[in-house]
Amino acid sequence: MDKTKQQWSEEETQCFLVLWSSAEVQTKLDGACRTKPVFENIKQGMAEAGYQRSVDQLINKLKKLKKDYRDQKKKL
């Protein structure tokens, strides 16, 4: 896969968050040691919506979103 940085659109981020925040995904992630299969399912959902991202890109995006959230919360 192409390793060049590709900007996430707002719609793409929204799609990712909707898939990630679903009750089914959250149940699978709760206490799971191996999360890659869950992110594979999210990747498939993203592909169905027309977005092509690797599992590593999805994991990194989630980490960045969580970090940004914590940073914003600290500012308040």
Taking only the tens place, the pLDDT of each residue in 18-64 is: 999 999 999 999 988 999 999 999 999 999 999 999 999 999 999 99
pLDDT band at 6 (very low <50, low <70, confident <90, very high): confident
User: At CB < 8 A and 24+ separation, what contacts does 13-19 make?
Assistant: 13/61, 13/65, 15/45, 15/46, 15/49, 15/51, 16/42, 16/46, 16/51, 16/53, 16/58, 16/61, 16/62, 17/65, 19/45, 19/46
What pLDDT is attached to residue 2?
53
Does the domain at residues 11-75 carry the CATH identifier 1.10.10? yes
Parse the chain into domains and list their residue ranges. Answer: 11-75
